[in-house]
Amino acid sequence: MGDATGFLKIKRKEAGNRPVVERICDFSEVEQILNSEDRILQAARCMDCGVPFCHWNCPADNLIPEWNDLLFRGDWKAAYRRLSATNNFPEFTGRICPAPCEHSCVLNIHAESVTIRENEVAIVEKAFSEGYIKPSPPAIRTGKRIAVIGSGPSGMAAADLLNKAGHEVTLFEKEARAGGLLRYGVPDFKLSKTVIDRRLELMVKEGVIIRTNMNIGIDISIQDIVNKYDALCIAIGAVMPRDLKVEGRTLNGIHFALDFLIAQNKINGGESVDIAETLNAKEKRVVVIGGGDTGSDCVGTAIRQKASGVTQIEILPKPPVVRTSDNPWPFYSRVMKTTTSHEEGCERIWSVSAVRFTGTEGKVSGVEIEDVEWQMTEAGYSMNIIPGTRRVIEADLVLLALGFVHPVTDGLVNELCLELDARKNIKTDKSHSTSIPKVFAAGDAVNGASLVVRAIASGRGAAIEIDRFLRVSTVNGTG
């Protein structure tokens, strides 16, 4: 450990964000970069507390105190080696992970955690800029062929590890470009797409074959893929949206959040996309239903499209400012979160339920809401409507950001008759195997909609199991 008392001398310092007036005029990344000297000082704040709760709460099992120590010593190269031992893509998580590790950092007891996420992205960006990250194809090829279906972070992580293990990996993607929700869901102002392209180029130079515009199960039979490859990893995500089937739902101007975000991401990426005027917020009153992160991404996107006003509504109560007694450290703190998009100008309303859409001439004109209150009962929280509180928020564009229920099952899931769990996610056992021999699965398709870091961890887990399966089948002569 570098400086045992660093945390007593050095205050938490974040890189900060570009000014609101500037950033709302473009889609470039909002977060800035701290200089290397300050970054090293921030790493000195890690006190190597003995039991690394940060590590416990990182789904990728990142060795946080170890790379913080290396960073403190100025050994950026060794820090990168330690970081990349557990995380294929720190440049993604370092930008957009909600950093559960920081919630569990011992310094978070006093709300001053180490800047773990920012340290992570600084290490990997230094590694790219100093040229330590070079294509390193495997020295020996095994002759085994693997198809990874879906090129989001879980499919990318699985493909990366399996290729490094010497297998021939083809990454199939139904969209025009690889990257999954990183490319088409997450807005550029959180994650520049050049960051995804840089990593994909590296993977291609190392031997991963990427085939886009291939909707497996629709454009080409999944059975053909099963027949041609030694193993498969299904990493198709979970993007079936939760709907709000109330009166007026069929009015024009009501869209799923992801459709709205995909449209803007495709425009930014220069993909020719026929965007209906209804999918643009310009000079419209926008209501986002759903107070989570996807909703927040819609807020930031609508503001950049020059909406005349944005309101985000949420059925749950407004979270507390500080932890409550039933949500102690070191657990993830369920406190009020204000994203950079919220700072850019948006009204937020909690404890309201959307009960009806109003409209004129087939077009939405408002969302009728009513207040609700939540009570703790023996069976858990119960919601009660507060009578006499109905009112309408005027709207020209309504975005439904109510989460995702499970993977899309039309296509390959149905064709293969893959067994699903109770929530309609792809069912796997501990070894990531599905109900079909030699077919494995990873990421949101298995876990339900989650986080990039969980998708990466799951893709890595599946890759390890596929590699084990192929080696066993080679030994047994079954492969």
Ligand X SMILES: Cc1cc2nc3c(=O)[nH]c(=O)nc-3n(C[C@H](O)[C@H](O)[C@H](O)COP(=O)(O)OP(=O)(O)OC[C@H]3O[C@@H](n4cnc5c(N)ncnc54)[C@H](O)[C@@H]3O)c2cc1C
CB of 30 to ligand X, least distance (A): 12
Among 217, 359, 448, 461, binds ligand X (CB under 6 A): 217
185 binds ligand X (CB under 6 A): yes
Question: Regarding beta strands 439-441 and 231-234, do their DSSP bridges make them parallel or antiparallel, or are they unpaired?
Answer: parallel
60 binds, among ligand X, ligand SF4, none (CB under 5 to 8 A by kind): ligand SF4
Please give the Cα distance from 110 to 157 (Å, whole number).
35
267 binds, among ligand X, ligand SF4, none (CB under 5 to 8 A by kind): none
202 binds, among ligand X, ligand SF4, none (CB under 5 to 8 A by kind): none
CB of 355 to ligand X, least distance (A): 25
Among 54, 121, 149, 470, binds ligand X (CB under 6 A): 149
Kind and range of the H or E element at 233? strand 231-234
Among 221, 409, 450, 474, binds ligand X (CB under 6 A): 450
Residues numbered 66 to 125 that lie near ligand X (CB under 6 A) are 96-97
23 binds ligand X (CB under 6 A): no
Q: Which residues contact 140 (CB under 8 A, 6 or more apart)?
A: 166
CB of 248 to ligand SF4, least distance (A): 40
Among 165, 216, 288, 470, binds ligand X (CB under 6 A): 216
Question: Do 440 and 460 meet the contact criterion of CB atoms below 8 Å apart?
Answer: no
175 binds ligand X (CB under 6 A): yes
Please give the Cα distance from 91 to 125 (Å, whole number).
7
Among 90, 94, 100, 155, binds ligand X (CB under 6 A): 155
99 binds, among ligand SF4, ligand X, none (CB under 5 to 8 A by kind): ligand SF4
Kind and range of the H or E element at 232? strand 231-234
451 binds ligand X (CB under 6 A): yes
297 binds ligand X (CB under 6 A): yes
- ∠49-93-454 over CA atoms, to 5°? 85
Kind and range of the H or E element at 124? helix 116-130
Between 142 and 154, CB nearer to ligand SF4: 154
Nearest Cα to Cα of residue 115 among 221, 47, 224, 39: 39
Residues numbered 81 to 140 that lie near ligand SF4 (CB under 6 A) are 93, 97, 99-101, 116-117, 120
CB of 120 to ligand SF4, least distance (A): 5
Q: State phi, psi for 16 to the nearest 5 degrees.
A: 80, 170
CB of 457 to ligand SF4, least distance (A): 9
Nearest Cα to Cα of residue 237 among 354, 148, 297: 148
The DSSP letter of residue 180 is: T
159 binds ligand SF4 (CB under 6 A): no
Structure tokens at 389: 């509180």
CB of 451 to ligand X, least distance (A): 3
Q: State phi, psi for 139 to the nearest 5 degrees.
A: -70, -35
172 binds, among ligand SF4, ligand X, none (CB under 5 to 8 A by kind): ligand X
Number of residues that bind ligand X (CB under 6 A): 43
Between 117 and 174, CB nearer to ligand SF4: 117
64 binds ligand SF4 (CB under 6 A): yes
Between 53 and 260, CB nearer to ligand SF4: 53
Q: DSSP 3-state assignment of 282?
A: coil
Neighbours of 371 (CB within 10 A): 17
444 binds ligand X (CB under 6 A): yes
Q: Which residues contact 113 (CB under 8 A, 6 or more apart)?
A: 12, 102, 103, 105, 107
Question: Do 322 and 95 meet the contact criterion of CB atoms below 8 Å apart?
Answer: no
Nearest Cα to Cα of residue 47 among 124, 131, 108: 108
Q: DSSP labels for 314-356?
A: -SSPPPPSS--TTS-TTSPP------HHHHTT-EEE-SEEEEE
Question: Do 118 and 14 meet the contact criterion of CB atoms below 8 Å apart?
Answer: yes
60 binds ligand SF4 (CB under 6 A): yes
Among 287, 346, 453, 463, binds ligand SF4 (CB under 6 A): 453
151 binds ligand X (CB under 6 A): yes
Between 116 and 186, CB nearer to ligand SF4: 116
List of residues contacting ligand SF4 (CB under 6 A)? 58, 60, 62, 64, 93, 97, 99-101, 116-117, 120, 453
List of residues contacting ligand X (CB under 6 A)? 96-97, 149-155, 172-175, 180-182, 185-186, 190, 214-217, 235-237, 239, 258, 261, 293-294, 297, 411-412, 443-445, 449-453, 455
